[in-house]
């Protein structure tokens, strides 16, 4: 059966995203060795795929709070690893700043807040608190960073361990895109249009920045058949930090 007829399951999309992610991070870790730019261009498709999958996961999961907590813990683990490893093995040519777990976590927070206000089962009070978290934490973080009297440990906590829309990968644009995937989950054309418009906005804002190429993630997303496919719950949680650390170690130990 052809791919056009069968389509992609969520597991297939996950594998596509992981594969393209490897290309992107190979460029990040070895750009100084002449790795071509098209490696990172392929990587521009990754974030929308996983944002789309997070909206699907948010819909189907039996425990939304646990789903969000898993991503938050993943974010914390990555932050610790990406701080400790470069401290032990510094690489002046590579900076570990990947925090996609934080982006996905905040995207789910935005979905949860939206459902609290507009879903079938409303929880207005909790949704207001969630909205305050999304809106206030960036300003608190900026204040903490700018304060000369703030203890160093407090600054570290706010900057590295409390995800907010100005410090996570992709920033508010990716959080918005995740929310739009959720809002238009039953109206796929709206979701596709949202991705196209966000990509267009990025292109107009900075046509020399490759992120607009994420519009091509529409191809696998449109081919999504709504099925889960093979169940590998922890694949992404494990693979994401592991492959980054392996590539970083290879780059640092063998190419400097």
Q: What is the dihedral of CA 19, 208, 245, 47, to 10 degrees?
A: -50
Sorted by sequence, the CB contacts under 8 Å of residue 77 that are 6+ apart come out as: 241
pLDDT beyond 90 at 231: no
Number of domains in the chain: 1
Taking residues 22-31, report their average pLDDT. 96
Q: 40 is in which domain, residue-wise?
A: 3-254
Q: Place 1 in a pLDDT band, splitting at 50, 70 and 90.
A: low
pLDDT of residue 71: 97
DSSP-derived 3-state class of residue 1: coil
Tell me the C-alpha distance between 124 and 198, whole Å: 29
Whether 256 has a pLDDT exceeding 80, the answer reads no
Please compute the mean of the pLDDT values over residues 217-230 and round it to a whole number: 95
Question: Distance between alpha carbon 123 and the CA centroid of its chain, in Å?
Answer: 26
Record the pTM: 0.95
Which whole number is the average pLDDT over 84-109?
Answer: 94
Q: Which two tokens stand for residue 230?
A: 């093979």
131 contact partners, CB below 8 Å, separation of at least 6: 113
The pLDDT assigned to 143 comes to 92
Structure tokens at 159: 């900057």
């Amino acid at each position: 059966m052809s791919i056009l007829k069968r389509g992609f399951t969520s597991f297939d999309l996950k594998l596509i995203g992981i594969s393209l992610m490897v290309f992107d991070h190979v460029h990040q870790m070895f750009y100084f060795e002449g790795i071509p730019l098209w490696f990172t261009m392929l990587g521009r498709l990754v974030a929308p795929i996983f944002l789309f999958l997070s909206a699907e996961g948010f819909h189907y999961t039996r425990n939304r709070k646990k789903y969000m907590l898993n991503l938050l813990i993943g974010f914390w683990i990555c932050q610790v690893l990406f701080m400790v490893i470069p401290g032990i093995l510094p690489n002046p040519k590579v900076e570990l700043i990947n925090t996609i777990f934080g982006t996905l976590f905040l995207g789910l927070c935005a979905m949860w807040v939206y459902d609290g206000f507009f879903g079938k089962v409303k929880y207005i009070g909790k949704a207001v608190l969630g909205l305050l978290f999304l809106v206030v934490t960036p300003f608190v973080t900026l204040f903490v960073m700018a304060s000369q009297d703030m203890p160093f440990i407090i600054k570290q906590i706010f900057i590295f361990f409390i995800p907010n829309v100005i410090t996570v990968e992709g920033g508010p644009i990716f959080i918005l895109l995740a929310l739009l995937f959720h809002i238009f989950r039953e109206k796929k054309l709206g979701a596709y249009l949202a991705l196209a418009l966000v990509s267009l906005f990025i292109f107009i804002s900075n046509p020399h920045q490759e992120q607009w190429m994420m519009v091509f993630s529409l191809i696998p997303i449109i081919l999504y058949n709504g099925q889960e496919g093979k169940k590998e719950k922890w694949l992404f949680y494990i693979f994401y930090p592991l492959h980054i650390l392996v590539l970083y170690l290879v780059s640092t130990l063998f190419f400097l």
